[in-house]
């Protein structure tokens, strides 16, 4: 598989410069960081949440855990983890567990952790388990600057 078409089309439409990095097949964002030889805190990990009003993608460094209570309070919602089946339906051109860390191309509201704004580079899954997308930190901020953000995670 290659970069998910929805994600690729979105990146190309923004004019953001990105590069693609191949790596061995991985099953977690921390494994991906290790396989790609990049710092784990620079790999953006999406956590898909939902409630009666719909879905939210919380994007955090792969070395962190999402703080559901803080995210729910920030958005004034009662969020819980989405199921793999729900994620598969939302991101239907992506492999399960390899969802890109940008919600907009999929029509999913997003909130992101402030720690990502301090990173010189940000890496994201591409829609499969063997390709990582790299953008400069400033370009990542450009992609998400219209989304809510805050201290929504804690280091593991």
- Which domains are seen in the chain, by residue range? 5-155 (3.90.960.10)
Find the mean pLDDT for residues 86-110: 96
Q: Are the C-beta atoms of residues 113 and 60 closer than 8 Å to each other?
A: yes
pTM for this model (two decimals): 0.96
Please give the share of the chain, as a percent, with pLDDT higher than 90. 93
Mean pLDDT in the chain? Answer: 96
Distances (CA, A) of 95 to 3, 88, 130: 10, 7, 10
Element (H, E) at 111: strand 109-113
The pLDDT tens digits for 14-46 are 999 999 999 999 988 889 999 999 999 999 999
DSSP 8-state class, residue 45: E
Q: How many other C-beta atoms are found inside a 10 Å radius of the C-beta of residue 19? A: 11
Do 49 and 87 touch, CB atoms closer than 8 A?
A: no
1 vs 33, residue with greater confidence: 33
- pLDDT (mean) for 99-128: 97
Per-residue burial over 136-151, b if 16 or more Cβ lie within 10 Å, else e, is beebbbebbeeeebee
What pLDDT does residue 1 have? 59
């Amino acid at each position: 598989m290659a970069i998910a078409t929805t994600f690729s089309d979105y990146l190309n439409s923004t004019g953001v410069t990105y590069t693609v990095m191949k790596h061995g097949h991985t099953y977690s964002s921390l494994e991906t960081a290790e396989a790609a030889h990049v710092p784990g805190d620079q790999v953006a990990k999406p956590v898909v949440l939902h409630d009666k009003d719909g879905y939210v993608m919380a994007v955090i460094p792969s070395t962190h855990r999402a703080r559901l209570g803080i995210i729910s309070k920030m958005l004034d919602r009662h969020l819980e983890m989405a199921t793999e089946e729900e994620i598969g339906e939302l991101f239907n051109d992506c492999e399960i567990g390899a969802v890109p860390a940008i919600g907009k191309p999929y029509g999913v509201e997003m909130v992101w952790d402030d720690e990502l704004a301090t990173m010189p580079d940000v890496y994201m899954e591409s829609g499969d388990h063997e390709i990582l997308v790299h953008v400069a930190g400033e370009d990542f901020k450009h992609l998400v600057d219209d989304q809510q953000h805050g201290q929504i995670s804690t280091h593991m």
